[in-house]
């Protein structure tokens, strides 16, 4: 079966130069299979090589070994169904650069406590639902309008987020933002980034103030995977045509359910579960690994 190896870098830090690409191809040829010519998707940023007769995991390891210390992402995948028709993306620390609950906590002077719970939950060291309840309890009595201030003043999109969503939608894909966080944020972030749909949890508000309770049931990793399956069924597409991206432990179920599951700046357990890891490029890397070319992305 034919696979594709894609190299993606950040030209501002470490471009994928012709020398880098040739070093990668030479490493692949030494494995004894076939490695096709270098196909430039974006000079200096991304290139493809077809491989046959080489185990994809072995190929990725060989390329990484040939590029020691280079901040370049290496992804291997099947050539068939490379372009996806469904994108399901986590919000916090993926589509946006922040963790929303940590930012809310700044307003009640408990950022360190909340951030510690967030980190444990994202690493999978704490039950996600319990983590949501404990953090929400710390916000009791806070004016609900603070949530809008946090979103407007403290939340920023990850570089490449708008481009990723725009190009995939233009290519006919359905784009869905999912979060174990709250719809007060997912609605605004989805609009800002251009997603078709969004899903999240609810924070209870009474008389304009947070009660410290999250709406039940609290949806976590299983719900994210369920949403991927629901929209895949609605579109009538196989799992191979789906892409999921996230960074934390509650993203693992949807990453494992997707045809291409990507860990974006992911925690170690997420990287282990994912088909691909993006540690250096921005979110446009998810376009290059689908085979989009620079001219298509810039159109």
Alpha carbon 121 to chain centroid, angstroms: 17
Its sign, for the CA torsion 91, 92, 97, 101, is positive
DSSP track, 29-47? HTTTSEE---EEEETBTEE
Q: Are 82 and 292 in contact (CB under 8 A)?
A: no
Every domain range in the chain assigned CATH 3.40.50.1000: 84-299
**Which class is 84-299 in CATH?**
alpha beta
Active site residues: 90, 92
In terms of DSSP bridges, do strands 276-278 and 209-214 run parallel, antiparallel, or are they unpaired?
Answer: unpaired
Give ranges for CATH 3.30.70.260 in the chain: 1-80
Dist CA 263 CA 277 (whole Å) = 5
The topology (CATH level 3) of 1-80 is: Alpha-Beta Plaits (3.30.70)
**pTM beyond 0.75, yes or no:** yes
| CB of 184 closer than 8 Å to CB of 148 | yes
pLDDT tens digit at each of 299 positions of the chain: 689 999 999 888 889 999 999 999 999 999 998 999 999 999 999 999 999 999 999 999 999 999 998 999 999 999 999 999 999 999 999 999 999 999 988 888 888 998 898 899 888 888 888 988 999 998 999 999 999 999 999 999 999 999 999 999 999 999 999 998 899 999 999 999 999 999 999 999 999 999 999 988 888 899 999 999 999 999 999 999 999 999 999 999 999 999 999 999 999 999 999 999 999 999 999 999 999 999 999 98
């Amino acid at each position: 079966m034919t696979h594709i190896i894609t190299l993606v870098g950040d030209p501002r830090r470490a471009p994928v130069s012709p020398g880098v690409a040739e070093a990668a191809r030479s490493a692949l040829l030494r494995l004894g299979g076939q490695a096709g010519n270098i196909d430039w998707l974006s000079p200096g940023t991304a290139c493809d090589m077809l491989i046959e007769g080489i185990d994809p995991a072995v190929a990725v390891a060989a390329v990484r070994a040939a590029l020691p210390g280079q901040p370049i992402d290496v992804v291997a995948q099947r050539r068939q169904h490379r372009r996806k028709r469904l994108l399901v993306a986590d919000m916090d620390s993926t589509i946006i650069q922040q963790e929303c609950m940590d930012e809310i906590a700044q307003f009640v002077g408990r950022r360190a406590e909340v951030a510690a719970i967030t980190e444990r939950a994202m690493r999978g060291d704490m039950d996600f639902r319990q983590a949501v309840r404990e953090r929400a309890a710390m916000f009791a009595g806070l004016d609900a309008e603070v949530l809008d201030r946090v979103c407007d003043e403290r939340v920023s999109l990850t570089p490449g987020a708008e481009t990723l969503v725009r190009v995939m939608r233009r290519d006919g894909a359905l784009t869905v933002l999912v979060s174990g966080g709250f719809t007060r944020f997912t609605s605004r972030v989805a609009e800002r980034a251009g997603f078709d749909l969004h899903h999240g949890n609810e924070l209870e508000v009474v008389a304009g103030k947070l009660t410290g309770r999250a709406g039940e049931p609290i949806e976590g990793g299983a719900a994210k995977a369920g949403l991927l399956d629901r929209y895949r069924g609605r579109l009538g597409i196989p799992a191979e045509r789906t892409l999921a991206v996230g960074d934390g432990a509650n993203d693992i179920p949807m990453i494992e359910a997707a045809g291409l599951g990507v860990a974006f700046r992911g925690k170690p357990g997420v990287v282990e579960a994912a088909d691909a890891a993006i540690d250096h490029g921005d979110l446009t890397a998810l376009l290059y690994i689908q085979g989009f070319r620079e001219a298509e992305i810039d159109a």
